[in-house]
Amino acid sequence: MAYSNRVEVRRVEMLEDGVQLASVFKIGDHTYVMLSDTKANKTVLSELPPTLGEEFGPLLKGVDAPAGAHLDMDPGGRVEGYGVFEFPYGPVSFGVPEAGGFKLVTYGERVIKVVPQVNFKKRGVEQASIGRSPQDALILVERSAGNFSASYSTCFLTAVEESLGLEVPSKARWTRAAAVELERIYNHLHVFGRLAEAASQNVAAAQANALKEDVLRLNSKHFGHRYLFGLSVVGGVRRELSKAECKELSNASRVIAREFSELVSYFLSSRIFLDRLQGTAKLAAADALRLGAVGPAARGSGIQWDDRLTYPIEPYEDIYVNMETDSGEDAMARTMVRVNEVESSTVVLREILDRIPGDGARAGAEGHRSRVDLPDDFSFCRVESPSGDLVQVVRLDNEGRVSGLHIRPPSLVNWLPLAKSLQGNVFTDFQFAFESFGLSFADSDR
C-alpha cells in the first residue's frame, strides 16, 4: 500500500466536518499541522494557515511548555460565586499515583469545572534528544512513558529508519508489533484493575492485577524486559522469537484472554460496578472530535480512529484488526472498548506470532511513505499506543544525528476531553472518570 493512500498533503483553511486536529509542529522555518480525517481515514498535512492559528492554539497547549513549572490545562470559562469551592488535588495524592494534579471547582457535590495540572514531571525528552545519535536518543524516548515504551520506540524508530533509508527486516517489525500488542494488553488490564479498586471490588482488582503481572512476566521472558525497554534498536530488534517461543507466547495469550473474559463476565453482573460507570463522565462525540480525544477515549464516543487501521505500518497492513468502538460516550463505554481490545489484541498478537516471517529481508521496499512533498524534510510516524494515537516527527541532520524531534503524546490531548466529561458529575465519580481515560502524566509531560 503506497503512502499516498494514507497521507495527503493539501492546503487546509478550516477544520472540516469529521476532521480532527492531531498535532501542530515546527520544523525548520515552517509550522505544520497534522490532521486526522476520520471520514476518509487519512492523515492530512498542511502548512499552518494563519487563519487557523488562533483556533488551534489552546488545543495544543502544553506541546512546547518549558520544564520547571506546572501548567494549567484550563478548559476556559470562569466560575465564581457563593458556594463555589475550589480545591487542589495533587501533585501528591494516592488517587493519582503520579506527580500531576487537578484543580476541582465544585458547587455542592457537583463538579462544575476541572483544570488538569500537568508538567510537574516534564523532563524535556525532545530538547535533550537534539544532537544525539538516534540510538542514544532512543534511551530517552523509550523512557518518556515507561508503560508505553514499546509504542514510543516503535514510533520513533520507524520514523528514523525511514529518514535513514534503512531496510529493516520484516521479522524485526513484526516482533515490535507483538511487543506493542502485549503492551496494550497489560495496560488495559491495569486500567481495569484500577477501576475495580476504585469501586472497592478488591478481590476482582487483585485478580486483574495478577493477570497483569502474568503479562509483565511474559514480556520479560520473551522480550527481555518487563516494560519492554531495550527491545528495539535502530534497524532491528535485539531478540528474535524462535518458533517454539512464538507458540508458547501464543498459548499464554490465549489463557490470559480466557481468564480475563471470565473476570469480566463476573464483573458485568455486579451492579455496584456498573452503577459507578454507566452514565458517568459523558463525552459527546462532537466534543471528542473537537477537543482532540484519541484512543479508547475517542472510540468510546463512537469515533472511528485506530492507527493500526488508519495509519498501518508494517505488519498491520497485512493483519486483520477489529476496530473496537462503542457509542455509549460514558465511562462504561470507554471501559468496554478496553475490555474488548484485550480480547482482540490477543487475536492480533496470535496472528502476528503465527505469521511472523522467518526471513531477514524486508518484503518489497515500499519507499518513503511518510516523507511528503513539503518545504522541509522530515519523517513522521503514528502508532496506536494503549491510550491512543501517538505522533512523532523526526528530522535528522547530515551526520544522522537528531536535529528535530516532536512528540505529541496521547495523554496530552486527552486532558481537555477528560475535563469536559467531568463537568456536572458528582465529585465521587472523579476516580472513575479519571481511570476510565487511562491517562498518564509521564506520557503527557515527557
Distance (Å, rounded) from C-alpha 164 to C-alpha 166? Answer: 5
Nearest to 376, CA basis, from 406, 355, 414, 408: 406
Distance (Å, rounded) from C-alpha 171 to C-alpha 370?
Answer: 21
Judged by CB under 8 A, the stretch of 79-87, 120-128, 322-330, 391-399 that binds other proteins is 120-128
- Candidate list 31, 46, 250, 270; residue touching other proteins; CB under 8 A: 270
Q: How far is the CB of 383 from other proteins (least distance, A)?
A: 17
In order, the DSSP letters of 10-41 are ----S--TTEEEEEEEEETTEEEEEEEETTTT
Minimum distance, C-beta of residue 101 to other proteins, in the bound complex (Å) = 10
CA distance 282 to 331: 7
- Contact range with other proteins by CB under 8 A, out of 202-210, 278-286, 341-349, 391-399: 202-210
Only one of the segments 81-89, 311-319, 346-354, 435-443 lies at the binding site for other proteins (rule: CB under 8 A); that segment is 435-443
CA distances 244 to 211, 220, 222, Å, are 23, 16, 11
Report d(CA 224, CA 201) in Å as an integer. 33
Distance, CA of 319 to CA of 410 (rounded, Å): 23
Least separation in angstroms between CB 152 and other proteins: 10
**Does 184 engage in binding with other proteins (CB under 8 A)?**
no
Q: Are 358 and 171 in contact (CB under 8 A)?
A: yes
State in Å, rounded, how far the first CA of the chain is from the last one: 33
Q: Which residues contact 15 (CB under 8 A, 6 or more apart)?
A: 21, 35, 52, 55
Let me know how long the chain is: 446
Report in angstroms how near the CB of residue 91 gets to other proteins at its nearest.
6
CB-nearer residue toward other proteins: 227 or 430: 227
Establish if 190 lies at the interface with other proteins (CB under 8 A): yes
Backbone angles phi, psi at 327, to 5 degrees: -95, 10
Euclidean distance between CA atoms 13 and 24, whole angstroms = 14
Tell whether residue 261 is a contact of other proteins (CB under 8 A). no
Q: Does 28 bind other proteins (CB under 8 A)?
A: no
Query: Contact letters (x/-) for other proteins, 48-87, by CB under 8 A?
Result: ------------------xxxxx-----------------
- Asked if 1 interacts with other proteins (CB under 8 A), we say no
262 binds other proteins (CB under 8 A): yes
Other beta carbons within 10 angstroms of residue 14's beta carbon come to 9
**Contact status: 170 vs other proteins (CB under 8 A):** no
Three-class SS of residue 187? helix
Size of the site for other proteins (CB under 8 A): 58
Report if residue 93 touches other proteins, rule: CB under 8 A.
yes
Out of 147, 335, 379, 392, which residue is the one contacting other proteins (CB under 8 A)? 147
C-alpha cell at 383: 502508532
- What dihedral angle (degrees, nearest 10) is formed by the CA atoms of 218, 222, 225, 228? -90
Q: Per the structure block, which three cell numbers stand in for 2?
A: 503506497
Does 109 bind other proteins (CB under 8 A)? Our answer is: no
The answer to whether 281 and 432 have CB atoms below 8 angstroms apart is: yes
Nearest distance from C-beta of residue 394 to other proteins, angstroms: 18
Q: Does 252 bind other proteins (CB under 8 A)?
A: no
Q: What are the cell numbers at 114?
A: 476541572
The single residue among 19, 35, 125, 246 that binds other proteins, judged by CB under 8 A, is 125
Radius of gyration of the chain (CA): 21
Which of the ranges 133-141, 247-255, 327-335, 374-382 carries the binding residues for other proteins, by CB under 8 A?
133-141
Q: Is 217 in the site for other proteins (CB under 8 A)?
A: yes
* 401 makes contact with other proteins (CB under 8 A): no
Q: Check binding of 442 to other proteins (CB under 8 A).
A: yes
Residue of 130, 139, 274, 374 that binds other proteins (CB under 8 A): 139
Rounded-to-10 torsion of CA 56, 61, 65, 68: 170
Q: Between 28 and 224, whose beta carbon lies closer to other proteins?
A: 224
Stretch that binds other proteins, among 3-11, 198-206, 285-293, 354-362 (CB under 8 A): 198-206
Contacts with other proteins, residue ranges (CB under 8 A): 66-70, 91-94, 97-99, 119-125, 127-128, 136, 139-140, 143-147, 149, 190, 203-204, 206-207, 209-210, 212-213, 216-217, 220-221, 224-227, 229-230, 238, 262, 266, 269-270, 440-443
